[in-house]
Structure formats: C-alpha cells, structure tokens
Amino acid sequence: MNAHSAWKKIVVPGRSTCLVENAAGVELLCIAGAAWITQYGDDRDLVLHAGQRAVLSLPTAIVMSSRSGAELLSRPHDHAARRGRGWLRRLLGVFDPRWSGAAARGLNHRIAHAGV
C-alpha cells in the first residue's frame, strides 16, 4: 500500500471537537455519524454524513465537531498535483496569512489534536 494514499482514521467523540492542522489537500470521508467541519479562512462550513466526502483546499487548520460522534477517514488527495506548483507560487505561499499556525496556536490545549 502506498503510504501517501493510506487512509487514517479520525474519531470525533460526541459533544467534542478535534483539531487537524495543515489540512491542505486532505480528503475526508465520513464513515459513521455526522461531522461539522470548519476551516480557517473559508467562509463556509461543511457537514459530512456517513458516506459523504470532501477535499479541503486551504493550507490551514480545521476544527471538526460532532453532536453524537463521528468516524472519518483522511488521506492526502492528489498528492502529485500539489507537487507540481511552480517555484514562484510556492514562494508567494509563504507570505499567505492562512499558512500561519495562529488559528491552531489559539486553539491549542482547548481541543484535541487528530493525527493526520
């Protein structure tokens, strides 16, 4: 199995939150329950129910919460396409405020981290 395409399981207990940092290009698949997903810098929230999937495009932290618990799978999506960015775009990305971990640092110790 390719390590870049291996699915990792994320469990969000009921009435709790979970933080995933550096979520650019992560594909999420909800396998049980429902999860509310908020990504820093994105003005829309996602609600994934069992069987639904989403690909996150911003290089920022996401916060997931669930009312009654949820199980999700995550993996890098289209890893080869992300490597193909030009050097100028990569350089300009360093100055993008969404790359900062300020949101993650602000939430540190308040919510559990998921190993993605």
Q: 28 phi and psi, to 5 degrees?
A: -110, 135
- In the chain, the N- to C-terminal Cα span, in Å, equals 17
Phi, psi (degrees; rounded to nearest 5) at 6: -70, 135
- Condensed to tens digits (0 to 9), the pLDDT of residues 17-39 reads 999 888 888 999 999 999 999 99
pLDDT at 74 (0 to 100): 93
Residue 32: helix, strand or coil by DSSP? Answer: strand
Residues comprising the chain, all counted: 116
CB contact set of 51 (below 8 Å; sequence gap of 6+): 30, 31
For 82-116, what is each residue's pLDDT tens digit? 455 567 766 666 666 655 555 555 555 555 555 55
8-111 topology per CATH: Jelly Rolls (2.60.120)
Torsion angle of the four alpha carbons 34, 43, 79, 116, in this order, in degrees rounded to the nearest 10: -50
At 11 the three-state DSSP class reads: strand
The residues, any chain, with a CB within 8 Å of residue 102's CB and separated by 6 or more, are: none
Q: What are the sequence ranges of the domains in the chain?
A: 8-111
Model-level pTM? 0.65
